[in-house]
């Protein structure tokens, strides 16, 4: 995994970390059993990265940004997808 890290853009790595953090936070709020924590982290990572890509393409306002990452959009995207996944049974 470590050799692949230099090939990823920094905004993608940071968005993924924000997604993992939001996945753990959403798990603490709406999660069920501890065996699903890894799924929450993975879904949160992909959802935050996808939210960042969509936000970059649509040009939404950036009230809270770190470099190229819109933290607000990445967090809302991750939590929104995680809550929807929880409603559908994750």
Q: Is residue 54, in this structure, part of any structural domain at all?
A: yes
Q: Is residue 79, in this structure, part of any structural domain at all?
A: yes
Q: Which of 22, 21, 48, 44 is nearest to 90 (CA)?
A: 44
Q: Is residue 2, in this structure, part of any structural domain at all?
A: no
Asked if residue 40 lies in contact with residue 23, where contact means CB atoms within 8 angstroms, the answer is yes
Please state whether the predicted TM-score (pTM) of the whole model is above 0.95. no
Q: Is residue 37, in this structure, part of any structural domain at all?
A: yes
Total domains present in the chain: 1
Contacts of 55 (CB under 8 A, 6+ apart): 70, 73, 74, 77
Alpha carbons 75 and 5: distance in angstroms, whole number: 22
Q: What is the pLDDT of residues 23-52, one digit of tens each?
A: 999 888 887 788 888 888 999 999 998 888
* Boundaries of domain holding 45: 10-87
Q: What is the pLDDT of residues 7-16, one digit of tens each?
A: 888 888 888 8
């Amino acid at each position: 995994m470590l050799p692949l890290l230099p090939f990823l853009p920094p905004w993608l790595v940071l968005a993924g970390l924000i997604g993992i953090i939001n996945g753990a936070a959403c798990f603490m709020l709406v999660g069920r059993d501890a065996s699903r924590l890894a799924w929450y982290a993975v879904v949160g990572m992909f959802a935050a990265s996808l939210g960042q890509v969509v936000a970059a393409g649509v040009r939404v306002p950036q009230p809270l940004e770190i470099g190229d990452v819109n933290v607000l959009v990445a967090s809302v995207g991750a939590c929104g997808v995680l809550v929807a996944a929880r409603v559908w049974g994750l």
